[in-house]
Amino acid sequence: MTPFFPGPVLAIESSCDETSAAVVEGPHVRANVVASQTNLHAKWGGVVPEAAARAHVEAVLPVVHEALSVLSPGERPAAVAVTNRPGLIGALSVGVSAAKALACLWRVPIVPIHHIEGHILSVLAGHEEPPLPAPWLTLVVSGGHTELVLVEGPGRYRLLGETVDDAAGEAFDKGGRLLGLGYPGGRAVQEAAQGADPRRYRLPRAVTHGPYDFSFSGLKTAVLRLVEREGSAIQVRDAAAALQEAVVDALATKAMAALAESGARGLALVGGVAANLALRERLAADCDRVGAVFLAARLDLCTDNAAMIGLAGSIRLAAGERAGLDFDCEPNAPLPGLIG
Ligand code: KG4
Ligand code: ZN
């Protein structure tokens, strides 16, 4: 059984462009409120750090207030968890300051959480027992990260491979922008690709030095060349389908190779790009073929959210982890508990 902290944990996430607060109790997500800044950043075609921080200042206490409304009268969080790394420093600082203030006021323990550990543990939501046999492989795919992590258990991770340049989400976002599909590109590419022909255009799969590493910058360049070559004759939906297939194929090929060679018995798919239906279907079929367990994060827990931070926090708190009120934020930081 996964040991979770007894009692409700308030979690706050503000590392990038979502302000989120959640109340998690054991493996159960009692509330998960997300205020997205997508519309704010859309006009610039990407996240503007200064604007993100200011939007977090506006949203952080309203989302906390709404999340706390699931508690019964007289009930109070027994602990606080907050993302303090990695991410945009101004954005992180807002969530961390709010979390510290509340932990100080309520006199309850606080634990800082690594954002990617939150994504990795998001698949535990709703499960008293880990839903995958250990060790399991996790494919983390988001706007900033593309990693293959062997999970021996919560807090024990082996990094098998990662992107050497762009993240999978960036491939969708930058490719989608080149195709005129707007921001963020992931969902727009998926929607445009629906029912389109992925074989009209051929986009490359990168060759990388590390067997489980990824590279997506060449794909972005190939989409640019395609747009230049085809001009106004371009079939945007078919190009979106080719782009989606190139990303999905690259991710699935490396993930399945790592699964076969690492001795992992299951594959978890997490992060914003895990919301992609083509990717979910491809990995489910590939895992089925080799008899491996496949589990994708719940759709509402793929893109950034505080529930996943609460789950990771609850596990770390149950293990006795506590931080003083003077901990810092770190824009870049490796996963905690890396082995090997
Ligand atoms: O995990 P996340 O919310 O933020 C980071 O930690 O980066 O991931 C955001 C990324 C964006 O690049 C977005 O385009 C992508 O997830 N995304 C998708 C889909 N929904 C979101 N990519 C492909 N298909 C989707 N349906
Ligand atoms: Zn994320």
257-280 tens-digit pLDDT: 999 999 999 999 999 999 999 999
Nearest atom, ligand 1, residue 144 CA: 7
Residue 172 lies in a domain: yes
Is the same domain home to 188 and 93? no
Distance CA 178, CA 203 (A): 14
Pocket of ligand 1 (CB under 6 A): 16, 142-144, 169, 172-173, 184-187, 190, 271-273, 275-276, 303-304
**What H or E segment, with its residue span, contains residue 159?**
strand 156-162
Of the candidates 285, 195, 303, which has an alpha carbon nearest to the alpha carbon of residue 240?
A: 195
Among the atoms of ligand 1, which is closest to the Cα of residue 244? 23
Together in a domain, 102 and 213: no
Distance 303 CA to ligand 2 centre (A): 6
Nearest CA to ligand 1 atom 3: 303
Give 107: exposed, middle or buried? Use CB within 10 Å, 0-12, 13-18, 19+.
exposed
Is the domain of 112 the same as that of 152?
no
Q: What is the pTM of this model?
A: 0.96
Please state, in angstroms and rounded to a whole number, the distance separating the CA atoms of residues 23 and 189: 32
Average pLDDT over residues 178-182: 94
pLDDT at 326 over 80: yes
In a domain? residue 336: no
> Considering only CA atoms, which of 271, 254, 159 is closest in space to residue 205?
254
Shared-domain flag, residues 39 and 115: yes
Residue 220 scores a pLDDT above 80: yes
> Does the pLDDT value for residue 337 go beyond 90?
no
Range of the domain at 86: 9-123+301-318
pLDDT for the residue 168: 97
pLDDT score recorded for residue 238: 98
* pLDDT bracket for residue 228 (50, 70, 90): very high
Domain of 49, CATH number, reads 3.30.420.40
The residue with greater pLDDT, 2 or 30, is 30
Give the DSSP H/E element, type plus range, for residue 153.
strand 146-153
Q: Tell whether 310 and 227 lie within a shared domain.
A: no
74 has a pLDDT exceeding 80: yes
Q: Kindly state whether residues 312 and 290 are assigned to the same domain.
A: no
**pLDDT tens column, 135-178:** 999 999 999 999 999 999 999 999 999 999 999 999 999 999 99
pLDDT at position 43: 84
Residues 13 and 95 in one domain: yes
- Asked if residue 34 belongs to a domain, the reply is yes
Please, are residues 108 and 321 in contact by the beta-carbon 8 Å criterion?
A: no
79 and 152, same domain (yes or no): no
Ranges 32-36, 46-50, 237-241, 292-296: which has the least confidence: 46-50
Tens digit of pLDDT for each residue in 11-70? Answer: 999 999 999 999 999 999 999 999 999 888 888 888 889 999 999 999 999 999 999 999
Which of the ligands is closest to the CA of residue 52?
Answer: 1
Compute, in angstroms, the gap from residue 172 CA to the centroid of ligand 1.
Answer: 8
- C-beta of residue 116 within 8 angstroms of C-beta of residue 335: yes
284 and 180, same structural domain?
yes
Residue nearest to atom 7 of ligand 1 (CA): 143
pLDDT of residue 226: 98
Sign of CA dihedral 331, 13, 3, 78: positive
**Alpha carbon nearest to ligand 1 atom 1, residue:** 272
Q: 224 pLDDT exceeds 90?
A: yes
> Does residue 113 lie within any of the structural domains?
yes
Tell me how far the alpha carbon of residue 15 lies from the centroid of ligand 2, in angstroms. Answer: 8
Q: Locate the ligand 1 atom nearest the alpha carbon of residue 18 and give its number.
A: 3
**Domain-located, residue 327:** no
- Looking at the structure, tell me whether residues 197 and 267 fall in a common domain: yes
> Is the pLDDT at 1 greater than 80, yes or no?
no
Residue 305 domain-assigned (yes or no)? yes
Q: Could you report the per-residue pLDDT of 99-131, keeping only the tens digit for each?
A: 999 999 999 999 999 999 999 999 999 999 989
Ligand 2 centroid vs 293 CA: distance in angstroms? Answer: 23
Evaluate if residue 82 carries a pLDDT over 80: yes
Of 93, 9, 110, nearest to 49 by C-alpha is 93
Average pLDDT taken over every residue of the chain? 96
Report CA(308)–ligand 2 centroid distance (Å). 10
pLDDT at res. 339 = 87
Asked whether residue 214 falls in the same domain as residue 248, the answer is yes
Number of domains in the chain: 2
Tell me: do 169 and 272 sit in the same domain.
Answer: yes
Is the residue at 21 inside a domain? Answer: yes
Ligand 2 mean position, distance from CA 305 (Å): 8
